Structure 1
Amino acid sequence: MKFVTDSISKIELDKLESELNHPSTNRLLNEYVKLNYRIDSKMKIYDTEKSKRLLLAKMRNDNKGPRKLKINRYLKYAALIVLSMTLGYLVKEFSFSEKIEPQFSPNENFITLEREDGNIQVISEEGTTQVFDKKGNVVGSQVGNQLVYKHSNDSEESLPVYNTLNVPYGKQFELKLEDGSVAYLNSGSSLKYPVNFQKGMERKIFLSGEAFLDVAKDKNRAFIVHASGLNVKVYGTRFNISAYPEDKIKEVVLVEGSVGMYATTNELQSGKETLLTPGTKGKYDNLIGDISKETVVTSIYTSWVQGVLVFRNMSFEDILKKLERHYDIEIVNQNSLLSSETFNASFEDMPIEKILDYFKSQYDIDYVIENDIVIVK
């Protein structure tokens, strides 16, 4: 133990070094290390103190032998204690640390409500709050993951007063408008809407991102969604609209009712409106301003409302975009050959690591996590 307390003499140190190189000591060390490693690896720790206690107990048992042998054994076990403590450090720092999988640090992103006067209110999903107009009247209330506005037969304002709900990456939120229409906002989306819809006027909202809309029927007031150059006109229907500013293609998937898609007011007035029927997806190309449509299975595009991610014939590049938004992470794809590859997969609510492991096991797509960034190799 003099080595540990730094009180060992030069002669004793030479003897210790000699014992370390002795074949019998090496054999004993190997046996001890194997046994102790197996025990401690099960516990996910390396217990240096326990190792010393085991060795000392072994030394006491061996003290029953002749005095000459005792001296050699003390040297032998002193060497083992030194190596055991060193081994404990190395095992802890290298062997076990390699088995610890990287974890993502949660980002402190908040849902916010921005009023027309510029005031910003933070929405806590675990709490409750009320929304006031500029006169101090309660116009809405929030409980958990839902914000509900009070119905008003007539608005006293000559012009609509708009609020904007911002939902960051990694979160989703439900909003019930004054007319009874419900908007489910997906991650990375914002919706600008009037506190009260005007009597006899079209019900207009402005979307950036993705939302599933269940629009209250009103034959006298059309419901208009303005979304990154695309406009959707309805009277009462249920549909999904994906219109993230960075996406080249904007999509509208109709579940129930009917909708009309158009790029500008002139197109609507000239009869160039593209009508969708249930089970149809409309695609708007930003670059060329073209609208096309096709028959689809609508549940594929609306499953996110129930917390399920569904990818069908989707490019790997688009899958990574959706994962970034859903989990609020950054993904760097270093394998350009994968970008245009298409995949089919479905995932219920689970950690992002599970999804990445799926692609690794099924398609041999390797990845690493560095500083909360996923790097696809």
Structure 2
Amino acid sequence: MNRELINGLIEKYKNGSATEAEKQTLMNWYREVAEEESVFPGAEHDIENQMLQRLQLDIKPVNKRNNLRLWAAAASILLVLSAGVLLLKSHLIRPGTQSDTELAGNAISPGGNKAFLTLANGTKISLTDAQAGEVATQGGIQIKKTGEGQIMYVISDQKQKAAKTTEYNTIETPRGGQYKLLLPDGTVVWLNAVSSVRFPVNFSSQKERRVELTGEAYFDVAQDKDLPFRVVARGQEVEVLGTSFNISAFPDEQESRTTLVQGAVKISAGNSSVQLRPGQQAAVTGSIHVKNIDPAEAVAWKNGYFRFDDEPLESIMRQISRWYDVDVTFAGEPLKSELFAAAAKRSTGISELLSVMEQTGDVKFDIDGSHITVRKKNK
């Protein structure tokens, strides 16, 4: 969609002449490009500011799940654009008029590249502190850290390729951490916060490439038709030959979700199994449920963004807790089911993120050190 058309839609929305279809077009455009461009084209700051002020005065957030799922007209634009203030450098939070949330939360920083490597003999190495170069050696296999901070495995002793036994390593991220690694077969793995992957250091001696995941990871699997790739995660098994997909299998979430970006995967759980097509997501809660989604939603974290679409506040705060390394409590159970839609860079300070969420809903966040209390906003 060209810039002239979008600027025209923004202007029409500002002066109240946009039709419902035009509002929907503007919303769809924003959701598609916000993660890539992070600002309106052409630096339309004056239009943006007037739009946001008008939205705040005229439209109330929608709390019912069915209405949010429909993203109906003006209410959906409020949720997307108001949350998008983070991406638009927030005209609503100005120097000298910061909210209590922002002032109290300045000491809490976003997460970064942090991880620990546990070798087969139990030795634990901080990959955050390790220098570029060789990190460790295991039976003729070198573990190296690249200049970009990525871990990779190199078989330096060719006898290892014919070895009948292999050892296992585990890479895990703490709260406030993420990490990218290259498995011995060339598969690239991005680990989200509070996640771990266990894998053999040599796939050559195996009949399959089997890894174990806890938490969330994005896999870009190296093709090898003779060695199928399998991920075991929280009661499910995902089988692939060569593809890109995301698995979210945190122990504290109600369901495990596998989202296929490209290729094909087979999900097995209990006595059930399904095969996914690109753009589909399988949710496992004992049984398997498949739905069509935008894969960009599931992999936003890997690309450096939060993206919440019609998501309960309890789930959102669990993600915030993992990334910012904070503890969260709710002053009232009903608050947990409040629904939000938002998009923000993961490099955004927690105070700015929470401040904008306060302005798009009826909640207030109290920050005390590394603890956040969520309560109902006083009217």
TM-score, normalised to structure 2's length? 0.67
User: Which residue is equivalent to 1:230?
Assistant: 236
1:166 alignment partner in structure 2? 172
- Shift in Å at residue 238 of structure 1? 0.2
Partner of 1:191: 197
- Are 2:341 and 1:344 aligned? yes
Report the alpha carbon displacement of residue 156 of structure 1 after superposing the two structures with TM: 4.1
CA distance in 2, matches of 1:98, 1:330: 15
List, as ranges, runs of 4+ consecutive aligned residues in structure 1 with deviation greater than 4 Å.
97-100, 105-110, 151-154
Hey, what's the Cα distance between the residues in 1 that align with 2:112 and 2:215? 20
Q: Alpha-carbon deviation of 1:168? A: 0.8
AA paired with 1:368?
A: D
Residue correspondence of structure 1 range 273-292 to structure 2 within 5 A: 273-285=273-285, 289-292=286-289
Aligned partner of 2:284: which letter?
A: Y
Task: Name 1:83's counterpart in structure 2.
Answer: none
Match in the other structure for 2:154: 150
Alignment check: 8 A CA contact 1:127 1:144 kept? no
Structure 1 residue identity aligned to 2:238: V
CA distance in 1, matches of 2:101, 2:334: 30
Cα distance change on mapping 1:180 and 1:330 into 2, 3 Å: same
Quote the residue 2:134 is aligned against. Answer: 130
Identity across the alignment (%)? 29
Could you say which residue in structure 1 is the equivalent of 2:222? 216
Task: Give, as a single letter, the amino acid of the residue that structure 1 aligns with 2:281.
Answer: K
Structure 2: stretches of 5+ with no match in the other structure? 1-99
Gaps of 5+ in 1: 1-96
Query: 1:325 — aligned with what?
Result: 322
Distance in structure 2 (CA, Å) of the matches to 1:314 and 1:223: 31
Find the aligned partners of 2:294 and 2:155 in 1 and give their Cα distance.
Answer: 34
User: Following TM superposition, by how much is the alpha carbon of 1:226 offset from its aligned partner in structure 2, in angstroms?
Assistant: 0.6
Distance 1:215 1:108 in 2: 24
- 1:34 matched residue in structure 2: none
Deviation of 1:209 (Å): 0.6
Deviations 1:232-290, CA, capped at 9 Å, x for gaps = 000100000001122220000000000011125xx4xxxx42110000000000xxx10
Shift of 1:105: 5.3
CA displacement 1:68-116 (0-9 Å, x = unmatched): xxxxxxxxxxxxxxxxxxxxxxxxxxxxx99953433569995210001
Instruction: Output aligned runs, 1:79-118, within 5 Å.
Output: 101-104=104-107, 111-118=115-122
Q: CA deviation at 1:293?
A: 0.2
Q: Pick 1 or 2: higher relative contact order, CA cutoff 8 A, min separation 6.
A: 2
Quick check: 131-140 or 276-285, which moved more? 131-140
Change (3 A) 1:333 1:370: same
CA deviation vs aligned residue, 1:160-192 (integer Å, no higher than 9, x gap)? 211100111111110101111000000110110
Indicate how the Cα distance of structure 1 residues 303 and 98 shifts in structure 2: closer, same or farther if over 3 A, else same. Answer: closer
The answer to whether the aligner puts 1:177 opposite 2:201 as a matched pair is: no
What amino acid is the match of 1:317? E
Mapped contact 2:273–2:288 kept (Cα < 8 A)? no
Aligned-CA RMSD value? 2.5
State the partner residue of 1:357. 355
Aligned partners of 1:101 and 1:366: how far apart in 2? 13
When normalised by structure 1's length, the TM-score is: 0.67
- Going from structure 1 to structure 2, the CA distance change for 1:137 and 1:311 (only over 3 Å counts) comes to closer
CA distance in 1, matches of 2:251, 2:112: 23
- The CA distance in 2 between the partners of 1:218 and 1:136, in whole Å, is 23
**Separation in 2, partners of 1:278, 1:108:** 29
Secondary structure of 1:356's partner?
helix
Render the CA deviation track for 1:47-72: whole Å, top value 9, x for unaligned: xxxxxxxxxxxxxxxxxxxxxxxxxx
Are the structure 2 counterparts of residues 282 and 358 from structure 1 closer, same or farther at C-alpha, using a change threshold of 3 Å?
A: same
Amino acid at match of 1:208: T
